[in-house]
Amino acid sequence: MKKSSAKITIMWFGHSAFLLESASGKRVLIDPWLDNPKAPADAKGISDVHLICVTHGHDDHLGNTIELAKRMGAPVVCIHEVGLYLKSHGVSAIEAINKGGSTERDGVRVTMVDARHSGSLDVENPPLPGGEPAGYVLRFENGYTVYHAGDTALFGDMQLIGKLYKPDLALLPIGDYYTMGPKEAAYACTLIKPGKVIGMHYGTAPALTGTPDLMRKHLPASMRRLVQTLEIGISTPLS
């Protein structure tokens, strides 16, 4: 499928929370922890979201999913076990797929891929089993493709994700401590070969010390121009 030159826009809410909007106005919200320390004060007032994707059950990713899904009626894509938890808390529109599976809503195709991390539902005390963590590949109506890696370590099959889906944009954790750090994320870029890369999961806690500049430093010189840094709360066009 030939990719359109029409713009996709992206807004970062801090941590791993992003809003992606297609050229035709389809809005996808990923890992909506919208009261994280870096989020804009009015972030939870977001509206008109067509789809919510949750990578895993940790509270800094599941975040405000339940209240947002109930208020907007937006379907939630998640792994099966997280879906069971959401259903038990009154969320009715759930696409509980699993790794390797895909679903399509309003022309946006969402594929769940692997991630290497833990996945309990630590929103409860004691934590509940939450299935495995995941990443997502989103293909928009015009063919523009985004890979959100979720929380993950570096793993060799990222090369397969790159070869199979050819992402125009990769959203990669760079904070270190709980996920890949900048050095590992830079190596992931050499496996995935995205058109652009944006770092995430950094700066929201003292332990998350990675930065986009450090990732850029570890990239081959020919790839350093691919790193894009977002300003939180600002809608930014992607080419």
Q: What is the pLDDT of residues 87-143, one digit of tens each?
A: 999 999 999 999 999 999 989 999 999 999 999 999 999 999 999 999 999 999 999
- The boundaries of the domain holding residue 55 are 8-238
In a domain, residue 3? The reply is no
Strands 94-97 and 76-79: parallel
In a domain, residue 81? The reply is yes
Question: 3-class DSSP state for residue 225?
Answer: helix
Quote the CA–CA distance of 196 and 79 in Å, as a whole number: 27
Give the model confidence (pLDDT) of 127-155 as tens digits.
Answer: 999 999 999 999 999 999 999 999 999 99
Quote the CA–CA distance of 138 and 148 in Å, as a whole number: 8
**Number of domains the chain is built from:** 1
CATH code (residue 24):
3.60.15.10
In a domain, residue 1? The reply is no
Share of the chain above pLDDT 70, in %: 97
Kindly tell me the burial class for residue 166, based on how many C-beta atoms sit within 10 Å of its own C-beta (0-12, 13-18, 19 or more): middle
Question: The whole model's pTM is what?
Answer: 0.97
In a domain, residue 2? The reply is no
In a domain, residue 51? The reply is yes
